[in-house]
Structure 1
Amino acid sequence: MPPRKPPRWVQWTVVPLLILVPIGYVIISAEQSRDSGEEKQQQAAATTLTHLWPTKVQRRIYEVTIPSGSDPVAYLETNNWASSSFYVQFRTNQGGLDTFLAQYGKSRSALADADVTVSPKQARTVRWTFGADRRWAGLKLKQHGDKPDHNITVDFSDTDHPVVYVVSTINFR
């Protein structure tokens, strides 16, 4: 007995699905790929702080661990031939500040009172202002080799929720 031919409605259903499903997949993939590129282009062109958490890769490269529960968080990454800098600002609590400093092997006692370690040029880049009416403390960490240097400034005006300003710089020379 010869094989039975499938009903006509099955042919009219299966054949279009065999064509449309792969085409739909290609269209969706192309759109996602396009969106990804536009988002990365916008981030690279940013000239002001982005009010989001930086990516895990950025935090790992620049060795900046933001304590969980910090809010708000903002960042900016700048690059040129000689160096790359990563600017991060976040509000945390006392425990978060201790955790943050501990990642560098430091404690609050390492912060110098009334010391703003972010340079005026760095502050202008992200439009940070460090007025005399606030309670500042800071710390500079120089590292050897290809490790990033850190300028850390903390605003203790609200002692329960200090604001941390970090500039992590990798020099290529």
Structure 2
Amino acid sequence: MSTMEHTDRKNEPAGEDGPGGDATRGGTPRGAQGGTPGDTPPAARRARPWVKPVVIFLLLAIPAGYLYISAMQSRKGSTTKREEAVSKGLEEGWPSKVQRRIYGMTVPAYATDVAHYETNSWRTSSLYLQFTTNRKKLDKWLKQVGTNRAALQDGRITIDADEAAVVGWKFGSGHHWKGTVREQDKPKPNFQITANMDNPDRPRVFVISTVTP
């Protein structure tokens, strides 16, 4: 090889045909990947206009479907449901997440004596809930359902005898009762709240949340 040929090869730019610069090195031409490593493919960056409508549909359909199925299960009659509730008693523990969402209420953290019961009919669906908590957490819970302690009226029992009989609640004399009703436009739930304030530091709350589809 002549001195001139050796000089020409030495001065060739790397990355074309020179050593270590083969354009097809590694089996895939540079640029065939559609960009530098780490780039998001254009298809993945495109907006998916169907996602938001699907999410909205599910948010509306799941609660509605739940209430419909519950109503179908109650088709044999509310009398039978009431008899079953009295015989079985309230179910211990928190309502399910779906129930808490539909009926617009939760349970204060670390509440005790928690129990609930749900009843459904073609016209309305109701969730019965009871719990014992403390002053501060009662105030927070009342705020969550759209009311406050000042709305609780002395001596007022907002749950009538027929409703109380569904789950065996008794609101007799000789106790310090306070109560309030929180009414809202459909389809939001209405709340009947009655609290036993015999021990102001440990109020015992009884509430019925009712929704009308």
TM-score, with normalisation over the residues of structure 1?
Answer: 0.71
Question: Which residue number in structure 1 is paired with residue 201 of structure 2?
Answer: 160
CA positional deviation for 1:150: 0.6
1:130 to 132, 147, 171: 171
Structure 1: state its 5+ residue gaps.
1-43
2:131 paired residue among 90, 96, 114: 90
Distance in 1 separating the partners of 2:104 and 2:161: 22
How many corresponding residue pairs? 130
State the match for 1:114 in structure 2: 155
The equivalent residue for 2:189 is 148
CA-CA distance at 1:72 after TM superposition: 1.5
Segment drifting more, 86-95 vs 99-108: 99-108
Distance 2:146 2:93 in 1: 26
SS state of the match for residue 92, structure 2? coil
Q: Give TM-score, length-normalised by structure 2.
A: 0.58
1:69-97 Cα deviation digits (max 9, x unpaired): 10120000001111101000000011110
Question: Match for 2:103 among 38, 43, 62?
Answer: 62
If asked which structure has higher relative contact order (CA below 8 Å, sep 6+), I would say 1
Task: Quote how far apart the aligned CAs of 1:106 are.
Answer: 2.2
CA RMSD of aligned residues (A): 1.7
User: Partner of 2:112: helix, strand, or coil?
Assistant: coil
Classify the secondary structure of the residue corresponding to 2:136: helix
Q: Which amino acid aligns with 2:144?
A: Q
- Report what 1:30 is aligned to: none
> Based on CA coordinates, which of the two structures has the bigger radius of gyration?
2
Displacement of 1:105 in angstroms is: 3.2
Structure 2: how far apart are the matches of 1:141 and 1:61?
16
Query: After the TM superposition, which parts of structure 1 deviate over 3 Å for at least 4 consecutive aligned residues?
Result: none
Question: Aligned residue for 1:28?
Answer: none
